[in-house]
Chain A
Amino acid sequence: MTIYAKLGYTLLGLLIVLNWGFLMGATFRKIGARVAGRYGIPFYQPWLNLLKNISTRTTITHGVMYYIGPVFRLTGGIGLFLFMPMVFTGTVDGPWTNFSFEGDLILILYFQVFGMLGMALGAGQGGHPYSAMGIARGLAQHAAVELPLTLAFISIAIQFDTFSVYKIVAAQQGGIENWVLFTNPFAAATIILAMLGAMGHSPFNLVKAPNEILIGPATEFEGTYLGFMQSAGSILHVMEAVLFMNLVFGGASNWIELIVKTFLIYFWSVFVGMVFPRFKIEQSVTWFFKVPLLLGFLAIIIYSF
């Protein structure tokens, strides 16, 4: 496959991911609305929101870092996408595998934090006290989530003896029984629990907590930058789901499967989030340091020996 074809597929994939992210977001808001007993937003609302945000005429500035924040976040999302194999096609050189390579799991872990760090810069320069509080919460919680998540990743890496996501996906092919979910239940359990934190739904939606700290890091962002952040958020949500799908749920062999699986993975966090209130930050961090961390250690211990 030529590099141009690869680039083409990657860009197309990004487009699909972005739109799927929007659609998924809208769908889940509709589902949430159903539980409440109403109809909720139209399916096309996120696109309109994006358009509207881009068409905002005035902007404010708080300095360079303020601009860079959303860019970092978008970069984090795209970076996560670039090194993530989306659809398993049998060969790493095939379409939809993007720039997956040996050791991309480590890069992905890095990119997960990347967006948050960028936001920290932007929100910090924004100067709003609630932005600062939000990003502080975000980083703290991220660290707490990352710890069990990394343990689970390492456990899986040990299990398959590779840091390549693509190879992990490949190893899970050939039936549901080959999924990490069944072959490494402790790592899977860790990921499933830590995932709640990574997805940012209740009870772990501390970063954007409207009745506590306005809308958190994004408080000062408006217009195009907000549009950037929304797009990045959608991509990140899909990519997180794709990551967990690839690691635990056997990857996807076509786009339909990907869509179904990411939907279900995302649904899990919505399912929990809908009926639980929000933790305080120390409660949240403590929670991750309890069960998921323990499971993560177990997963490593089991596969280390």
Chain B
Amino acid sequence: MINKFLGFEPDKDKLPSLTAKIGDDIDLSSHKYQKIWLGPNHPGVTGNMAVELWVQGNTVVKAKTHVGYLHRGFEKLIERRLFVQGFPTSIRMCVAEPDTNEYLIATCTEQLSGYDKAVPEMAKWLRMLSLEMARLQGLLRGVPGQGGTFALGLGVQWGVYLRDLILDRFEELTGARVYHMYIIPGGVRGLLPDGFKERMEDNLRDIDDFIIRIRKLMFHNSVFKKRAKGLARITPDMVDKYGIVGTNARGCGVKRDVRKDHPYLHYDQLDFDPPTDTDGDIYARTWVRWQELIQTVDLIRQIMAKMPEKGDIKAEMPNVLHWKIPKGETYVRLESGRGEYGMYYVTDGSAKPRRVNLRGPSYTHAIALLEDMLVGADVADVHAIMVSLQTCPPEIER
């Protein structure tokens, strides 16, 4: 009320429309607009990308996403590599949740070569464990990270610490901190080390405590609410129009979760229900992610309880040096922390794939959706909106 009175919330009906269409030229020489760049060297940009903003005062009137700063040509490189050599390369396609890439490339090759039935039971459970741990570490960064976009750095500090603990568990299990290179075509690369479950349980208890703390810090925070509520709203009708997936879709009530829709591994044996919210704004998305944090902790506990004690970790497969896969194509998807994450894989009967194409959720979220969503937003909110859409540039440009 007072805002309106003081003129801080302009009556938008009285102003000319700000929603510039993509491709419309904004005449910078009119001195009405200014162009600023958010990134690539900017602390407020996710990863190494850039958003070119045309602003009128504090309001964005047009935005363009620029990617390619992290472009390495993965899809080209994997075309040059044997099937087994693909997975160390593929894992680097997305730093935030690397295991998903490994799983996709392994499953694609298994499916096309007919070895998907041969993957041992133990390996399947371990795959699930590593995928859920990856989701957990992603959320531990992501949930407080949303607070961090509004300069609530405390949650980030706690969250990244706990993420480090999960990375320690990853290190024990897989032999590496970030790029685990654990899921290999045919199976996984190691059993649980001794005492892993106990140490994991310790960490999960810490995370339980953190979940409560972060709720008090962020979701019962008047300033956070003031900034996050009503900001960057996604409506259900936008979901199909823009190809929105994952928590971004669930935040506005569209329940899409690959783990439920197309159960892979043993997700059908786990008891969970993907959380949803109805508002579709940043607060709702963060809230959904927070609930997912609880759920992921629970899923890890379920997996550790249900997983067999011992077993084979890799199927018997042909010699990796000259493993050939007959001609075929497939699309495999999974639910990453950011939503549906898929891979289109084509083989031509040789020892190397013909084409690998990754479908990252950020591809649509960070370009088509973000550019449209930023129009009319405040410059101060740009970073928050990017993070709330879980923009991850490496999976866009690959």
Contacts and interface: CB of A to CB of B under 8 A. Distances in A.
A275 interface: yes
B58 interface: yes
Given A202-B151, A212-B380, A282 B3 contact: yes
B329 to A, nearest CB: 42
B227 interface: yes
Interface stretch (A15-23, A33-41, A119-127, A247-255): A33-41
A232 B44 CA distance: 27
Contacts of A211: 43-44, 148-149, 151, 383
Interface stretch (B217-225, B300-308, B361-369): B217-225
Nearest to A272: B223
B70 interface: no
Given A211-B43, A283-B227, A278 B379 contact: no
B45 to A, nearest CB: 8
Contact of B36 (A129, A276, A277): A129
Contacts, number: 87
Contact of B6 (A35, A38, A289): A289
B223 A203 contact: yes
Contacts of A279: 223, 226-227
Nearest to B58: A281
A284 B21 CA distance: 31
B3 A277 contact: no
Interface string A259-298: 0000000000000001111111111011001100000000
B161 A277 contact: no
Interface string A103-127: 0000000000000000000000000
B381 interface: yes
A277 B224 contact: yes
How big is the A interface, by class?
20 to 34
Tell me what chain B mostly uses at the interface: helix, strand, loop, or mixed. helix
B168 interface: no
Nearest to A283: B226
B43 A280 contact: no
A120 B148 CA distance: 27
Interface string A132-153: 0100000000000000000000
Interface string A183-204: 0000000000000000000110
A276 B228 CA distance: 13
A276 B221 contact: yes
Nearest to B8: A282
A286 B151 contact: no
A197 to B, nearest CB: 14
B150 A277 contact: yes
Given A37-B157, A38-B157, A277 B44 contact: no
B42 interface: yes
B147 interface: yes
Nearest to B160: A36
B151 A278 contact: yes
A7 interface: no
A136 to B, nearest CB: 9
B231 to A, nearest CB: 10
A180 B185 CA distance: 74
A290 B222 CA distance: 16
B380 A275 contact: no
A280 B380 contact: yes
B2 A277 contact: no
A25 B262 CA distance: 54
A202 B224 CA distance: 12
Interface in B147-186: 147-154, 157-158, 161
B158 A205 contact: no
B163 to A, nearest CB: 13
A280 B152 contact: no
A130 B382 CA distance: 14
A127 to B, nearest CB: 12
A275 B154 contact: yes
B235 interface: no
B227 A280 contact: yes
Given A36-B157, A214-B42, A277 B380 contact: no
A42 interface: no
Nearest to A289: B6
Contacts of A129: 34, 36
B310 to A, nearest CB: 37
A92 interface: no
Contact of B44 (A212, A281, A282): A212
A54 interface: no
B381 to A, nearest CB: 7
A36 B58 CA distance: 32
B230 to A, nearest CB: 12
Contacts of A276: 152, 221-224
B158 A209 contact: no
B383 A277 contact: no
A213 interface: yes
A277 B6 contact: no
B279 interface: no
Interface in B200-221: 217, 221
Contact of A280 (B148, B222, B381): B381
Interface string B1-43: 0110010110000000000000000000000001010000011
8 closest Cβ pairs, A-B complex: A277-B150, A211-B44, A36-B157, A278-B151, A282-B8, A277-B152, A276-B223, A210-B43
24 contacts: A36-B153, A36-B154, A202-B152, A205-B151, A209-B380, A210-B43, A210-B44, A211-B44, A211-B383, A212-B379, A212-B382, A213-B380, A214-B42, A274-B154, A277-B150, A277-B227, A278-B150, A278-B152, A278-B223, A280-B378, A282-B8, A286-B2, A286-B6, A289-B2
